[in-house]
């Protein structure tokens, strides 16, 4: 982490409240409070003081694993105390801790090792409204410091009470990011129907861990439909399948403008992610006269082909080569 970056974080910590949530609505039907109300919720007890991570950890054994992981996380390690920049420490998220440990010594004399900190004096992170939970993170993670968050305030996730904590599990190891290995499982917890789609016979290789939700979607928000990375479905697909992007001399009408005319993005019971099996896929838009002609042909082989239109029309996505009559019948 360089110092400029750190300065951005501080700068934005002061500017941020005015900016975020400004454009939010109540998509869930529950009224949103003014930002100031959420800010109050994350101040913590005003009669408590900050005591530092050393104190939080030294006083409470059960924090050993958490603090050890934390020390090795980007949050724990990136800012050196000498710089005088704000540390990211336990109290940055949990609120000031002096009251939590105020009576600990006395309690230890009474109950020995069973004595506990009074965590009820800390912020009750889990019970805060989602907007306040996210605000804890957004104080530092402005869209300037974390550009992927620029569409967060208007994202479908923010508007449906999904908070940063819902996806980022900060104490399940040193990793603060969502690990690529576990991303799909994380998303499936709230999108079980999508899991079903990826389990179908034909599917993008998410299960095989060759790609991820993140390859097509921006979970933090995007200006596009369905949090897509591309402006349209087609733009999203052709990021990887560039050979299908054209332009071709012989386009397939304008059908390839939307790949979803023929493909399901996640998975399908039909090979090649097709929404419907051939020939029915094609017959949705093309009359069956040509097919009937093929079916009645004396060659048995041709009749079988007639069910697999792309055996002949192999350049189904578009072609630069006319057929022998000079027409663009997408055959080569």
117 binds ligand HEC (CB under 6 A): no
Q: Site for ligand HEC (CB under 6 A): which residue of 11, 15, 231, 285?
A: 285
At its nearest, how many Å lie between ligand HEC and the CB of residue 91?
8
Measured from the CB atom, the residue of 36 and 126 that comes closer to ligand HEC is 126
Which residue has 């620029």 as its token pair? 150
Rounded CA-CA distance 172/167 in Å is 12
Cα distances (Å, whole numbers) of residue 281 to 87, 260, 328? 59, 12, 20
The stretch among 35-43, 44-52, 64-72, 103-111 that binds ligand HEC (CB under 6 A) is 64-72
59 binds ligand HEC (CB under 6 A): no
304 binds ligand HEC (CB under 6 A): no
**Residue ranges in 251-280 that form contacts with ligand HEC under rule CB under 6 A:** 252-253, 255-256, 259-263, 265-266, 271-274, 278-279
**Residue ranges in 18-37 that form contacts with ligand HEC under rule CB under 6 A:** none
204 binds ligand HEC (CB under 6 A): yes
**Residue ranges in 207-236 that form contacts with ligand HEC under rule CB under 6 A:** 210-211, 213-217, 219-220, 225-227, 233-234, 236
* Residues 299 and 221 sit within 8 Å (Cβ to Cβ): no
Residue 127, CA atoms < 13 Å, CB-side half-sphere:
5
* Residues 307 and 278 sit within 8 Å (Cβ to Cβ): yes
Q: Site for ligand HEC (CB under 6 A): which residue of 88, 100, 101, 130?
A: 88
**What ranges in 139-230 are assigned the alpha helix state H?**
156-159, 164-167, 183-190, 192-198, 213-216
* Phi–psi pair at 308, nearest 5 degrees: -115, 80
């Amino acid at each position: 982490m360089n110092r400029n970056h750190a300065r951005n974080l501080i700068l934005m910590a002061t500017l941020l409240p005015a900016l975020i949530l400004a454009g939010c609505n109540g998509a869930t039907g529950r009224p949103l409070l003014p930002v100031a109300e959420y800010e109050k919720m994350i101040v913590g007890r005003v009669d408590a003081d900050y005591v530092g991570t050393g104190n939080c950890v030294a006083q409470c054994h059960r924090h050993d694993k958490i603090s050890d992981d934390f020390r090795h996380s980007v949050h724990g390690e990136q800012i050196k105390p000498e710089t005088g920049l704000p540390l990211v420490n336990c109290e940055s998220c949990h609120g000031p801790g002096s009251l939590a440990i105020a009576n600990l010594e006395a309690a230890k004399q009474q109950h020995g090792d069973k004595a506990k900190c009074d965590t009820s004096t800390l912020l009750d992170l889990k019970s805060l409204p989602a907007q306040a939970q996210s605000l804890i993170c957004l104080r530092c993670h402005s869209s300037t410091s974390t550009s992927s968050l620029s569409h967060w305030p208007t994202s479908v996730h923010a508007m449906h009470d999904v908070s940063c904590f819902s996806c980022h599990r900060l104490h399940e190891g040193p990793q603060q990011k969502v690990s690529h290995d576990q991303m799909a499982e994380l998303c499936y917890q709230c999108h079980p129907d999508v899991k079903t789609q990826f389990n179908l016979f034909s599917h993008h290789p998410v299960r095989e861990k060759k790609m991820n939700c993140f390859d097509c979607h921006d979970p933090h928000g995007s200006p596009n439909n369905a949090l897509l990375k591309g402006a349209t479905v087609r733009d999203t697909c052709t990021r990887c399948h560039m050979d299908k992007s054209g332009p071709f001399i012989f386009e397939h009408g304008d059908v390839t403008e939307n790949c979803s005319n023929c493909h399901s993005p996640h998975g399908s019971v039909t090979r090649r992610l097709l929404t419907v099996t051939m020939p029915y896929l094609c017959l949705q838009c093309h009359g069956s006269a040509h097919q009937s002609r093929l079916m009645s042909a004396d060659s048995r082989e041709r009749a079988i082909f007639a069910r697999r239109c792309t055996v002949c029309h192999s350049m189904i996505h578009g072609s630069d080569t006319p057929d022998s009559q000079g027409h663009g019948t997408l055959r080569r």
